[in-house]
Structure 1
């Protein structure tokens, strides 16, 4: 290994001595102090994403003048240069180019860089002219994917979901940013939340206010909300440190969204749903380091050598409207969560895969979720948290439970074609789960498991203890016991913790290490290892492990 390579397994302390100065997060306040008042400036950091063996997508946003804030439509065009280098001092630049930041794209800029080496760490930055001087963005680190046919020994990914600005501080991102052993960070949805300030959670329980303070509906609203999130120093830090691979869930649009509407959208009051969804998607692709793919959605496929491919889902753009739990329509073959084209695409991709592992970026839980007997004081807030009716509950119908025909077809495809080593990586539910994915839940464990599922908890969005306003792991213990008794495929559930996961993949196993924050309302929260589960190659089942991967 040459001195300028960034090793995937480099120790944190060693890496920090080389890159700390280049990777310090740039908050809005520090950027303004460095001359943003005269513009142009990089107030929202930099990011990279969707790594390929020969390329990476780079992102930034330029504030050309102080009044050209996100969503304002103000500010003229600005020419932006970008550089990719082998070293933090940019003495060995390997790729460079220019792009133009305009109000039409909210002054966001993307550069889809190609011609890079596989499985290699790089530094990148953006530059704009200010008079006779050059203004540089913060420096970011990124990494390309292994070559298509590389016999990759191991991969390691951060895994996160559900980061509500008002609910807490983004300490989980800070802890992932400090690691130097990640190939990428997977964000499984709910990167932003659409609610008005004080609606979720109630104002007295929040740590800060959204901007804009009203519920976001228009293109300007969604741009402003994305811009607000990207002033967070911990969010900037994780983007500066690692490439992202992201999909959306409902809150990038509105709560419990489907192809024709959402629970949190009132036609005639909040306008046309198609217009709102189009605005949300436009802002998302402007502000996220994501390549739009088929039909302008987030479903797409990435490959990491011969070890793993990643099938990324869009479970909002094509789905049928949710029905109430206990409604037999959940089994209707005409209802879909994926849409026909996407389900066929996924099935074909899983069948054609020649990698050891098939990872599926899946925004809502695919494993069945039935409630056991719970006392009313637990059942009522739990169902409220999950958006379910208080009585007659048999399924979480915003998940795959509400679209059982699609699930049976997909799981039957895995079984019928003997497709092994499929791992669903899931967010959304604000809880941590480790699940076998049974072909027939009613007869499990006598019927086979056809995949494994690792569900990560929220970064900050409210869990059961937050909803009840009780200490962690007190009241929820009874709920966990009842849910596990009714769901024998669920090997572990944590309804209270906030944090992140680290997925480590080798030819022998895929292991998820779950990390929990000490307090989401403490901006200096610590993180500690909570549990680990793995699925061994060929097993299609999860098992507990007594230590995280080092």
Structure 2
């Protein structure tokens, strides 16, 4: 059985200029022929030299199930059919899944229609596959074949799985550096999937990235060069990311499990707007949000799930459940810094009532050893007021909050304390063990215990653990200050740890990725850091390893990184 992704046509208004306001924040490689065809998206169609169908944006898979997986590609049917153009006729695309790399034993195949209405992207929701099995897949249009990709189905729901290993990434600003983290993950053969915790793209225009007080220069330029506002804009930005050879390699090597955060739409998105959206200057908010959501589901190997968002649940045998949250579509507007009454208001929400009930019910009903929760923003409370005064400004710039009176980041769960208290007391009162929050967003790495009341920790026992991965490329503290890593930040890190005893470790400077390994005894995160995010050939190494032992609800330093 196959399902194709076929969105209704949406008109794309003319590009609107950016307001210019300062705002915050290889299994398969691209061939030389493909590189020669890279379009400057939105430019003349002659940038595509191909006369017939071409698979310029690679292939991908995602959301593995015990009996299936979602396959993705984008076909360019003709030179003028560049992403976001709305041009190009319908094209029949054939897909096939095989047990071997040479496609000698094809076990599933089908066709799908690539049309301008879905930006000529194609999704095939393939079912009827064997559980816990590696497969190869590819697409074809006429006589043209795509590169081949490799994917893997999830274990059967009742399977006694011994081990699971995932890559974990977040915050991949194209202009901030190269996607070396993706290249290193693509080279691994031990991963079940790659979990992307949000900010796969950024909406900023080129001039916004070069704003004073952030970076001195962009490593490269994203297309379109202006801020993404229309459907065409978001399509072009997604397409430009998927022309990156390291991005293509990661998608071809591993299934991706993705969720969105704010920058897939606009900085500090909430249900009724965003900090980086000015009605009048940047059009109607609902039009922009619909455009961003449509482009996301067209270009990402993700199944639209509950209420057309990205919150959903996947299971990996009896070893783990993965609950993925959408913390942008239903949240109330962020509070002002220092407004404790608003932050603690029980009528304000980050999850929305329905999603919070869904999460609590899923955690209670889970029979898995580990309950993983993908949360785009940090759930452990962290007070920043102890940081030395000369670092408060840069830290506030990084967090996207006012420089005066910095105490907590109200864009995180710290700004919605009633939802957090309800969730954490649910874990405590129901004696739900082995809950691990997996987090991105903040461009720093953390290993946290998660208590119900941080003020009385460690007397107040932790009810969960949290691993926060740093950014792939997006600026962190040393980038903003233009200083060497592990210099000024060491003072801030020590102050934050002293004031927040449940924070067991943090790294405010590195860029990289995580590798999460689960077995019956422990969940361990290895934090990999890059030698230089501005170096396309950057090396990576493990900076630190933390684990939580089954039944402990606490993190501890692991003696050794995982073999791999």
Q: CA deviation at 1:390?
A: 1.7
The question of whether the paired residues in 2 share the 8 Å contact of 1:333 and 1:405 is answered with yes
> 1:267 Cα shift?
0.8
Find the partner of 2:198 among 189, 194, 206. 189
Query: What is the distance in 1 between the residues matched to 2:414 and 2:124?
Result: 39
Of 140, 148, 151, which aligns to 1:142?
Answer: 151
Does residue 495 of the first structure (1) align with residue 500 of the second (2)?
no
Q: CA 1:70–1:307 in structure 2 vs 1: closer, same or farther (change >3 Å)?
A: same
| Alignment RMSD (CA, Å) | 1.3
User: Are 2:70 and 1:61 equivalent residues in the alignment?
Assistant: no
Alpha-carbon deviation of 1:31?
6.8
The TM-score with structure 2 as length reference comes to 0.92
Partner of 2:311: 299
Does 1:400 pair with 2:409? no
Partner of 2:175: 166
Say whether 1:251 aligns with 2:263. Answer: yes
For 1:225, the equivalent position in structure 2 comes to 237
Instruction: Check the 8 A contact 1:167/1:201 in 2, yes or no.
Output: no
Give the match for residue 138 of structure 2: 125
Match of 1:51 among 64, 87, 106: 64
- Distance in 2 (CA, whole Å) between partners of 1:309 and 1:246 is 15
In the alignment, the residues of structure 1 paired with residue 280 and residue 37 of structure 2 have an alpha-carbon distance, to the nearest angstrom, of: 41
The CA distance in 1 between the partners of 2:31 and 2:107, in whole Å, is 25
Residue of structure 1 in register with 2:16 after alignment:
none
Q: Give yes or no for the alignment of 1:24 onto 2:29.
A: yes
Q: Deviations over 1:6-62 (max 9, x none)?
A: xxxxxxxxxxxxxx7x733457734739x9521210000000000000000000000
Alignment equivalent of 1:373, drawn from 386, 394, 397: 386
SS at match of 1:205: coil
Equivalence for 2:163: 154
1:116-167 Cα shifts (integer Å, max 9, x gaps): 01110000000001xxxx1110100000000010000000000000000000
Aligned to 2:329: 317
Cα distance, 1:393 vs structure 2 = 2.3
Q: For residue 373 of structure 1, report the CA deviation from its aligned partner.
A: 2.7
1:178-219 deviation digits (Å, cap 9, x = unpaired): 000000000000000000113124474211111111100000
3-state DSSP class of the match of 1:250? coil
Residue of structure 2 equivalent to 1:6? none
Does the 8 Å contact 2:516/2:525 carry over to 1?
Answer: yes
Deviation per residue, 1:278-308 (Å, 9 max, x gap): 1000000000000000110000000000000
Which residue is 1:521 aligned to?
A: 534
Instruction: Please give the secondary structure, in 1, of the residue aligned with 2:269.
Output: coil
Cα distance in 1 for partners of 2:282, 2:396 equals 26
CA distance in 2, matches of 1:138, 1:304: 28
The residue that corresponds to 1:235 in the other structure is 247
Q: How does 1:145-544 map to 2 (within 5 A)?
A: 145-202=154-211, 204-328=216-340, 329-544=342-557
Contact 1:46 1:138 in 2 (8 A): yes
Tell me, in whole angstroms, the C-alpha distance in 1 between the residues paired with 2:34 and 2:522: 44
Kept in 2: contact 1:25–1:138 (CA 8 A): no
CA separation in 1, counterparts of 2:432 and 2:350? 22
Question: Corresponding residue for 2:90?
Answer: 77
Task: Note if contact 1:125-1:140 (Cα within 8 Å) is conserved in structure 2.
Answer: yes
**Structure 1, gaps ≥5 residues long:** 1-19
Moved more, 257-266 or 204-213: 204-213
What displacement does 1:455 show? 0.1
Contact 2:29 2:246 in 1 (8 A): no
> Which whole-Å CA distance do the structure 1 matches of 2:558 and 2:207 have between them?
40
Aligned to 2:18: none
Contact in 2 for aligned 1:511/1:535 (Cα 8 Å) = yes
1:515 alignment partner, SS class: strand
CA deviations over 1:474-508 (Å, ceiling 9, x no partner):
00000001111111000000000000000000010
Give secondary structure in 1 for the equivalent of 2:446: strand
- Verify: 1:97 aligned to 2:106, yes or no: no
Q: How many residues align?
A: 525
The alpha-carbon distance between structure 1 residues 27 and 177, as it changes in their structure 2 partners (threshold 3 A), is farther
Displacement after TM superposition at 1:387 (Å) = 1.1
Is the partner of 1:82 in helix, strand or coil?
A: strand
Structure 2: tracts of 5 or more residues without a match:
1-25, 39-47
Distance 1:447 1:93 in 2: 56
User: Following TM superposition, by how much is the alpha carbon of 1:547 offset from its aligned partner in structure 2, in angstroms?
Assistant: 1.4
In 2, the alpha carbon distance for the partners of 1:500 and 1:198 equals: 27
Determine the C-alpha separation between the residues in 2 that align with 1:270 and 1:27.
38
C-alpha deviation, 1:395, in angstroms = 1.2
Q: C-alpha displacement at 1:324, in angstroms?
A: 1.4
Kept in 2, the 8 Å contact 1:501–1:514? The answer is: yes
1:523-546 per-residue CA deviation (whole Å, 9 max, x = no partner) reads: 000001110000000000000012
